[in-house]
A and B are shown apart, each in its own frame.
Chain A
Amino acid sequence: MHGSINRAIEMFVRDSYGSKAWRDVVSRLNLDISSFEAMLDYPDLVTAQLVDELSQTMGKPASDVFEDIGTYLVSHPTAEPIRRLLRFSGADLGEFLDSLDELPARARLVIPSLILPQIELDEEGSDEILVRVQHDPDVPIAFGHVLMGLLRAMADDYGALVLLVHRGIADGHENIEVKLLAASYAQGRAFALGTPA
């Protein structure tokens, strides 16, 4: 697994539950490191054990843990660079959803070695799309659930109202139904293309 994914999970735990919680996880898993490096690779097994451990200690299914991580990636101040990069994909949530299939390519522009599963979009109606996220049962991350959390937080970020339903796995894809109820429902968070100097 790419280190940046393990690192994201680590930062999610540290920022949401504190550094002690992370040290506890590390000691329960008998990891021989105290922190993941975003630019290194780790065995998939480590990530799988990490997810299991979090699911047990948080007392919720792994899918919910993934959603929390997705939300964290957009909404936590630590992850602000990620939120900003995501906002470049569209001026409003409609545009953002429209370019969701570019997400893996955009991630590769940031980190060339980071391979995310392919995303396909099926337009169901004018404001309804089916997002199909490639699913590999050997990969210990359900990226569709991460995307659910991420989309929920991005909708808040744009001030839009959406309905999200995870339809489970069919023919090698996680399917997510996205219904855009209102593109500008609330204020949303500020975003300028240029960063302050």
Chain B
Amino acid sequence: MTEKCADSVLRVLDGLCPMHLVLDGQGLVVHCGATLRKIFAPIDPVGLALTSLFVVKRPRSGEGMQALLARKGKKVQLAFRAAPYTEMKGIVLDLSDTTPGCIVLNLSFGISLIEAVRSYNLTNGDFAVTDLATEMLYLHEANSAAMEASRQLNQRLQGAKLEAEKQAFTDTLTGLNNRRALDPLIARLVEKGENFALMHLDLDHFKPVNDRLGHAAGDHVLCEVAQILRKATRSGDTIIRSGGDEFILVFSSMPKQFDLNSLAERLLRALSQPIAFNDATCEISASVGIALSAHYATPRLDEMMEDADMALYAAKAQGRARYVVYSTALRHVSNDTATQQIVNGQASAGE
């Protein structure tokens, strides 16, 4: 004997729950909501077993009707047997005590909603007016749009930050000025007609520190050097880390008794002290080339830098931890210096 669900019950279900199934005691589908029909099309689910349409994920105890009915108001989880195997959640309502052969299973996509709408091409009309599915889809899309806008803003801010860093005058590792600070400084000094000294300082034996102890040790040494240079100079002097292990120092407003030679010697002595890094010791020194603005009718930065460089190479050639002040005489001995440099290089390689 097959008894049917009352028409009034079916009308309620059809009117309010487009994703419901009515099952009989054996688990056969006897009625199906409009949206589920659309999803199953062209298959007509009526007359088929629930388990031929869905895999029952929960309850785990079994797929039979007894197991489903035993959930008693707790959610059940199903997945379509056909691709794309969308998961659904639902609730079972057993009306068979008053309406024999009427077990209602109402389903929802739950969190699979977004994929499901895509997979089954669902529209507003496929959801109950009271269902918040379309609002959830709206929110999901709104959220994506807003996230995209804020992602773009972050990207632009990141770009602006990099640009600002590029334009900044500070070396981020040591806190000293960077190379960009040099041009405006020299331009100002030249314009004011000030006497100044440009010192090009290059660390000796720095590369082995990096190679042997790693970049952390190298960075530590550079910061220590920066500290030593700060201590040995006056507050108005400018210290620039111009790259790698090279520094440029500019001394201006020099009083009559200002002794650049003793300052250079003091610097070299301080920089020859071993620097501790963890358990290791870093042995470095520095070579210095100096160009004096007084040497030029109109000092120009590129010319002074070139001359300070030449003096620096002469200092290196003399065997490190030395300083040389540029004079025109250097130009005449430059060939000898180059020879000497090679000789020195061989000597140190043979040590």
Which residues in A have some Cβ–Cβ distance to B below 8 Å? 4, 37-39, 81, 84-85, 88, 90-91, 95, 106, 109-111, 192-197
Contacts beyond the supplied A39-B153, A88-B138: 12 A-B pairs with Cβ under 8 Å: A38-B149, A85-B142, A88-B141, A106-B138, A109-B138, A109-B142, A110-B145, A192-B121, A193-B134, A194-B115, A195-B141, A197-B118
B123 at the interface (CB under 8 A from A): yes
A39 in complex: contacting residue of B123, B141, B143, B149, CB < 8 Å:
B149
B122 at the interface (CB under 8 A from A): yes
**Complex CA distance for A126 and B53, rounded to whole angstroms:** 44
Q: Is the CB of A194 within 8 A of B124?
A: no
Contacts of A4 in B (CB 8 A): 149
Contacts of A193 in B (CB 8 A): 117, 122-124, 134, 137
Q: DSSP majority for the A interface?
A: loop
**Complex CA distance for A90 and B117, rounded to whole angstroms:** 16
Contacts of B141 in A (CB 8 A): 81, 84-85, 88, 195
Q: Is the CB of B137 within 8 A of A88?
A: yes
Q: Which of B15-38 contact A (CB under 8 A)?
A: none
**Complex CA distance for A88 and B143, rounded to whole angstroms:** 14
Q: Which of B221-260 contact A (CB under 8 A)?
A: none
Instruction: Report the nearest A residue to B157, measured CB to CB.
Output: A37
**Complex CA distance for A50 and B141, rounded to whole angstroms:** 30
**Complex CA distance for A37 and B160, rounded to whole angstroms:** 13
Chain B count of residues within 8 A CB distance of the other chain = 24
Contacts of A84 in B (CB 8 A): 141
Q: Is the CB of B138 within 8 A of A85?
A: yes
Contacts of A106 in B (CB 8 A): 138, 142
**Complex CA distance for A192 and B156, rounded to whole angstroms:** 32
0/1 per residue, B179-218, Cβ < 8 Å to A? 0000000000000000000000000000000000000000
Q: Is the CB of B117 within 8 A of A194?
A: yes
**Complex CA distance for A106 and B115, rounded to whole angstroms:** 23
Q: Is the CB of B145 within 8 A of A195?
A: no
B146 at the interface (CB under 8 A from A): yes
Query: What 10 A-B pairs come out closest when comparing CB atoms?
Result: A194-B118, A194-B117, A110-B142, A91-B124, A88-B138, A81-B145, A193-B117, A38-B149, A39-B153, A193-B137
B122 in complex: contacting residue of A37, A90, A194, CB < 8 Å:
A194
B125 at the interface (CB under 8 A from A): yes
Given contacts A85-B138, A88-B138, A91-B123, contact A194 B114 (CB under 8 A): yes
**A117 vs chain B, min Cβ distance (A):** 20
0/1 per residue, B102-143, Cβ < 8 Å to A? 000000000000110111011111000000001101110111
B281 at the interface (CB under 8 A from A): no
**Complex CA distance for A193 and B125, rounded to whole angstroms:** 11
**B113 vs chain A, min Cβ distance (A):** 9
Q: Is the CB of B153 within 8 A of A196?
A: no
**A109 vs chain B, min Cβ distance (A):** 6
Contacts of A90 in B (CB 8 A): 124
Contacts of A192 in B (CB 8 A): 117-118, 121, 123
Instruction: Report the nearest A residue to B114, measured CB to CB.
Output: A194
Which interface residue of A84, A85, A194 has the most chain B CB atoms within 10 A?
A194
Contacts of B142 in A (CB 8 A): 85, 106, 109-110
**A193 vs chain B, min Cβ distance (A):** 5
Contacts of B143 in A (CB 8 A): 110
**Complex CA distance for A197 and B145, rounded to whole angstroms:** 15
**Complex CA distance for A106 and B123, rounded to whole angstroms:** 19
**Complex CA distance for A10 and B122, rounded to whole angstroms:** 35
Instruction: Report the nearest B residue to A196, measured CB to CB.
Output: B118
**Complex CA distance for A100 and B114, rounded to whole angstroms:** 25
B150 at the interface (CB under 8 A from A): yes
Contacts of A111 in B (CB 8 A): 146
Contacts of A196 in B (CB 8 A): 118
**Complex CA distance for A4 and B146, rounded to whole angstroms:** 11
Q: Is the CB of A88 within 8 A of B134?
A: yes
**Complex CA distance for A196 and B122, rounded to whole angstroms:** 13
**Complex CA distance for A4 and B153, rounded to whole angstroms:** 12
Contacts of B124 in A (CB 8 A): 88, 90-91, 95, 193
